[in-house]
Chains A and B, each alone.
Chain A
């Protein structure tokens, strides 16, 4: 009797959770005119794999990604949850207006999709798809993503190679349109939780001014990325 009930219980539990392996075709498009994306982390994971929450402080591993583009910490977090992970589909930076595509096979129970990457040149700006529930119905789904600020670093807009967590400054300006000798826009971060990025200021002085960023190249308006997911 006891055995019967427990088997029945297991059967009910299995049917109530969406456990279904899926094959996804994912396309990521950089919608901006002058911002580069660092190598992406793309993962299907379970409900415990949420990488960030707006209004809350960033984890140390999210900070590492947002300040320097290093996704190894977040990838390890998700590996511990048996997530299906693809890293660096673009094999390097994803330049403005460019797209990259990948295929992701998900295993049973990994019903949420997350995608993150750092925006360059910014101090701690990142783009993120955050635990998007993968539809069970086959079809093509389009999601536009906004830019977030990790809230972990002052947006001084100084390009000095600072990419390690806690180090001030922007690691690099891949566009080559930036300047040098900026005094720094600010030395503090008023909102230390994750929020929608206010955008970069920049200036028109290539050898001075407040910012090392170029105000005609390095600003953006949301959205900054488009994700197209085809559920096969």
Chain B
């Protein structure tokens, strides 16, 4: 950004220098210093409204990210460490702190089933090409939902786009559904969230198969039928406000 500013100011000054060189000798000894007007900052602002569509899966504070490169996840690729931390334990701080993030905001707290929340995010002087959203389904081992690297470059101010998102499995923790491994309220909050060990079937992000629950045949599960979910799990509306 600083570089760009430098370039613009050099270009703006060039004609002035030229002018003073062509002027008479008196004024050329004492050139007038002209301060170029500071460019007005241009804001690219988006309001992202998320709605939890599940029956009983609270979602961890929602991360909203503007970026021009990279992605939060890709099907078939191993999850990043930052995504793993969020998908297993609901902590989005590492997701928001990634190098690719140009602007990032977090939801205020847990997004409860049926509830919605609007999160504002703004980037100044650089138009963002992509927007990503991520949140954990907290009554699971490593399920999350959201959208990765959505192209928003054609979204004009005043326009909005709305769609639903499915659930993904981070591929970093086997879906045991035990109380010891579920951080959400289904385990009384006693379960472990993030653990760096990766013990899933395969270390790849995939679609989530859904939870089994003790009511549906997994005797060691801390979940009941009420924790089951189907796709989609999250509604996302992106409105560009300026």
Please report A residues at the B interface, Cβ cutoff 8 Å: 29, 31-34, 95-99, 175, 177, 201-204, 215-217, 219-224, 226
List of 8 A-B pairs having minimum Cβ-Cβ separation, nearest first: A97-B204, A33-B206, A31-B207, A219-B209, A97-B76, A215-B212, A221-B210, A97-B206
Q: List 16 A-B contacts (CB under 8 A).
A: A32-B207, A32-B209, A33-B171, A33-B206, A33-B207, A33-B208, A96-B201, A175-B201, A177-B201, A201-B217, A204-B219, A216-B212, A219-B212, A221-B166, A221-B207, A223-B231
Contact: A97 with B205, CB < 8 Å?
A: yes
B159 interface residue per 8 A CB criterion: no
Please report B residues at the A interface, Cβ cutoff 8 Å: 75-76, 166-167, 169, 171, 174-177, 200-202, 204-210, 212, 216-220, 230-231
CA distance A201 to B201 in the complex (A): 18
Interface of A is mostly: loop
Known: A204-B220, A216-B212. A226 touches B75 (CB 8 A): yes
Contact: A29 with B209, CB < 8 Å?
A: no
Kindly provide the distance from the CB of B158 to the nearest chain A CB, expressed in whole angstroms. Answer: 27
CA distance A220 to B219 in the complex (A): 19
CA distance A29 to B75 in the complex (A): 8
Which of A97, A201, A203, A216 lies in contact with B176, CB distance below 8 A? A216
Contact: A33 with B217, CB < 8 Å?
A: no
* Across-interface contacts of A223 in B (CB, < 8 A): 166, 207, 231
- Chain A residue nearest to B207 (CB atoms) is A31
- Chain A residue nearest to B206 (CB atoms) is A33
CA distance A201 to B231 in the complex (A): 18
